[in-house]
């Protein structure tokens, strides 16, 4: 099984912490040169120190807010002018929790830009280099809400579903060039995002945080939350030559929680 990413360049959005950083670490271990994208300068400089730097690897950072689509256009154009991107990981923070009936219309626009428009800009800039290399991997970190909407995440459910449809359409158009597009659907994973969600639920229901955690874990057949590294392991495989025939899929990594086949 060919799992080597030696000589491949990866661009990981939201790569300074959580699932994004875990993915960057795994890609680096397989030999990829990684560029981590995030909007916080301090976390960027700290995150790149976590990547093992081998003799032939070069890891970089890109300070960028994915909500600023004009800045995204400039930054990605400059980046691909200097080196091609073979692996693009679209990953960014989700919309705030809350019922869809209470969401302001502007919040949909903000996160549509962050998750769809910025990803489209990134892909269009990276495609020429991928086509020239005959190798491309576009990996989108989405959510199990693509399959079944999650209660109290109305805006997120909407945007995540749009990302999945966008990715499926894209996968049909680029596969003939050796480029695959796949989605990872994380379940409840131990990240800052999960902490915020549990705190929101606890506050809304006026119950203890520990009780919220117990209720959520009961829904998971393996009876625990996932680790960021477990999501990253699948992303790393999707990025390799071994995954060349995996295309247009949405794969849950959720301990069996999603109630669909």
In b/e form, how buried is each residue of 109-132, taking b as 16+ CB within 10 angstroms? eebbbbbbbbbebbbebbbebbbe
Asked if residue 48 has pLDDT above 90, the reply is: no
Q: Is the dihedral of CA 194, 191, 3, 136 positive or negative?
A: positive
For residue 192, the model assigns a pLDDT of 83
What is the greatest pairwise CA distance in the chain? 56
Please give the average per-residue pLDDT across 12-29, as a whole number. Answer: 94
* Helix runs in the chain, H state only: 18-29, 41-47, 69-82, 105-112, 118-133, 154-174, 192-205, 209-218, 228-239
The third-level CATH classification (topology) of the domain covering 9-187+228-253 is Rossmann fold (3.40.50)
Which tokens in the block code for residue 225? 């939350």
User: For the chain, where do the domains classified as CATH 3.40.50.720 start and end?
Assistant: 9-187+228-253
Asked if residue 52 has pLDDT above 70, the reply is: no
Asked if residue 100 has pLDDT above 90, the reply is: yes
94, 83 Cβ separation under 8 angstroms = no
pLDDT tens string 167-179: 999 999 999 999 9
pTM equals 0.95
- For the chain, the residue count is 261
Asked if residue 55 has pLDDT above 80, the reply is: no
pLDDT tens string 56-77: 788 999 999 999 999 999 999 9
Which of 2-11, 170-179, 210-219, 236-245 is least confident? Answer: 210-219
pLDDT tens string 229-240: 999 999 999 999
């Amino acid at each position: 099984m060919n799992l080597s990413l030696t000589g491949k360049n990866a661009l990981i959005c939201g790569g300074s912490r959580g699932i994004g950083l875990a993915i960057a670490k795994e890609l680096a271990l397989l030999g990829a040169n990684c560029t981590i994208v995030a909007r916080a300068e301090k976390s960027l400089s700290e995150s790149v120190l976590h990547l093992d730097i081998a003799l032939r690897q070069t890891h970089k950072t890109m300070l960028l807010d994915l909500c600023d689509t004009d800045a995204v256009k400039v930054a990605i154009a400059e980046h691909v002018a200097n080196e091609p991107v073979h692996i693009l990981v679209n990953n960014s923070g989700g919309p705030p929790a809350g019922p869809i009936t209470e969401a302001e219309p502007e919040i949909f626009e903000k996160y549509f830009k962050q998750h769809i428009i910025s990803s489209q800009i990134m892909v269009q800039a990276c495609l020429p280099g991928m086509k020239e290399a005959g190798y491309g991997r576009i990996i989108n970190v989405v959510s199990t809400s693509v399959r079944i909407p999650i209660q109290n995440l109305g805006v997120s459910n909407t945007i995540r579903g749009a990302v999945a449809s966008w990715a499926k359409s894209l996968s049909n158009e680029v596969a003939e060039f050796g480029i695959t597009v796949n989605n990872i659907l994380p379940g409840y994973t131990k990240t800052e995002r999960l902490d915020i969600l549990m705190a929101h639920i606890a506050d809304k229901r006026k119950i203890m945080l520990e009780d919220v955690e117990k209720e959520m874990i009961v829904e998971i057949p393996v009876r625990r939350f996932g680790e960021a590294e477990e999501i990253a392991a699948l992303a790393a495989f999707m990025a390799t030559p071994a995954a060349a025939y995996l295309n247009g899929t949405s794969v849950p990594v959720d301990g069996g929680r999603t109630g669909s086949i």
